[in-house]
């Protein structure tokens, strides 16, 4: 919910695998690179239908609310939505 509130909608259900969806201002590969530099581990995936690159995120019960807050901040920064 926090990510969606930041304009970063995810698909994939509650847990654990999520995919960042929607129109993004940068290519997924660039967002992935920026997040990696910020020490946020994500997956660079390919959409089954379109073949377009997507950002994958694994959220588990071990992640705290603080972890999700940091993820939201780092994603927003990576795509220029501070």
15 pLDDT band, cuts 50/70/90, is: low
CB 79 within 8 A of CB 23: no
How many beta carbons lie within 10 A of that of residue 40, not counting itself? 18
Q: Dihedral through CA 37, CA 38, CA 44, CA 47, nearest 10?
A: -130
pTM (predicted TM-score): 0.79
Cα gap 47→21, rounded to integer Å:
10
| pLDDT tens per residue across span 65-76 | 899 889 888 888
Which of 6-15, 19-28, 57-66 has maximum average pLDDT? 57-66
pLDDT > 90? residue 34:
yes
pLDDT > 90? residue 17:
no
CB 18 within 8 A of CB 31: no
Rg value, the chain, Cα:
12
């Amino acid at each position: 919910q926090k990510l969606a509130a930041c304009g970063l909608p995810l698909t994939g259900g509650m847990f654990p695998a999520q995919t960042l969806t929607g129109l993004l201002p940068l290519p997924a590969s660039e967002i992935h690179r920026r997040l990696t530099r910020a020490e946020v581990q994500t997956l660079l995936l390919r959409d089954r239908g379109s073949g377009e690159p997507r950002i994958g995120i694994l959220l588990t019960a071990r992640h705290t609310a603080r972890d999700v807050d940091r993820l939201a901040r780092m994603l927003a920064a990576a795509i220029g939505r501070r």
